[in-house]
Amino acid sequence: MPLFNSQDILVVGAGVLGLCTAAELARRGHRVTVVDPGGLNASAVAAGMIAPAMESAVDDLNAEHAALLRRARDAWGEFAAATGVRLDHGLAEWRGGNVEVLAARLAALGFAHDHDCDAGRLTTNEDWKVEPEQALAALGQGVRMLQARATAAGRSGARWRVETTAGLVEADQVVLATGATEAMAGLPEEAARLLGLITPIRGQIGLVAERMVDHVMRGPGAYVAPMGRSCVIGATMEAGERSLAPDPERCAQMLDAAWAVLGQAPRPLQIDWRAGVRGATPDGLPMAGAVGEGLYLAVGPRRNGWLLGPLVASVVADEVEGRPSKEPTLAPRRFI
């Protein structure tokens, strides 16, 4: 006999994409269970950036991609109010390096900004943020949580049977929000192949015991962002790396870059360095949507999981309910 029946939906993974999807489905009246082993995941090892403007400029995105990130940001307003996630609408700033180039990109993409050429300073009010700890806790309210690791999944008649370390769970539909982890046993070949396309990317950040800034400050090689009464320094992007042990050399380089962004001389700081592993698809956009009967993906947002969470959740929830995807560019089958 199964551990329990989830008459509606089982979400595998309690990162930002998994919890946003679970919260959206619960808002729509579905009974949702989230299975996750617990502990820090990549969504917790983050600054909580909702930053379409800076991300578009830094990565030199095309207009279509930038517009999608703007829509993702806009999806946060009503979603945050409904789920209790606190949004920070504070200023975002870039200092040093290629300020003129980034300003030109923001202008070309239609993002509002101010550029002080003499000061080498670029600011925008188009980027927001959340505090991951508060946001994850808020998103987890209203859904059933099962602390366990999913190890295998397979179709049995009209339902899914998912083996977990806590026992067997049955569900009508399953959403895989498994980050950069390898595909579990028993999945359909197409789903396993798509999950195999995801590249792990390690990101390292440092939680600083004091609040050094009152708004997000970015520059070449680092950012410094407020986080409650403290702040966070980030972040590396190390493709192919899965180790959760912080690399002292790379952390030191990031700290040097942070001091340069702040325009301050280095001084001793109390820093808790952490590492998390994100997942990225070949085109840098997440996979959101159906990959089989009653099976959906919500994976691969690269470093923009917090930005893309509600948009991915809405896409998956619509498909669960039989509606066409509002963002067909995110369809997993684009890679087949």
Phi-psi region of 124 (alpha: psi -120 to 50; beta: other; left: phi over 0): beta
SS3 51: coil
| pLDDT over 60 at 1, yes or no | no
Tokens 């617990």 appear where?
Answer: 38
What is the widest separation between alpha-carbon atoms in the chain?
A: 70
11: burial class by Cβ within 10 Å (0-12, 13-18, 19+)? buried
Contact call for residues 265 and 258 (beta carbons, < 8 A): no
Split at pLDDT 50, 70, 90, the class of 142 is confident
What is d(CA 296, CA 28) in angstroms, rounded to the nearest whole number? Answer: 17
Contacts of 170 (CB under 8 A, 6+ apart): 2, 4, 5, 6, 156, 159, 160, 161, 162
31-49 mean pLDDT: 96
* pLDDT tens sequence across 57-78: 999 999 999 999 999 999 999 9
Phi-psi region of 110 (alpha: psi -120 to 50; beta: other; left: phi over 0): left
| pLDDT over 60 at 6, yes or no | no
Q: What are phi and psi of 239, to 5 degrees?
A: -65, 135
8-20 mean pLDDT: 97
Contacts of 332 (CB under 8 A, 6+ apart): 194, 287, 288, 289, 290, 291, 297
pTM (two decimals)? 0.96
* pLDDT tens sequence across 211-253: 999 999 999 999 999 999 999 999 999 999 999 999 999 999 9
* pLDDT tens sequence across 167-206: 999 999 999 999 999 999 999 999 999 999 999 999 999 9
141-159 mean pLDDT: 94
* pLDDT tens sequence across 81-108: 999 999 999 999 999 888 999 999 999 9
Domains and CATH numbers, the chain: 4-43+136-198+282-335 (3.50.50.60)
164 against 1, higher pLDDT: 164
In this structure, are strands 4-12 and 216-219 parallel, antiparallel, or unpaired?
A: unpaired
Residues of the chain with pLDDT > 90, as a percent, come to 95
Q: What pairs with residue 298 in β-bridges?
A: 288
* Mean pLDDT rounded to a whole number for the chain: 96
155-169 mean pLDDT: 95
pLDDT of residue 7: 58
| pLDDT over 90 at 311, yes or no | yes
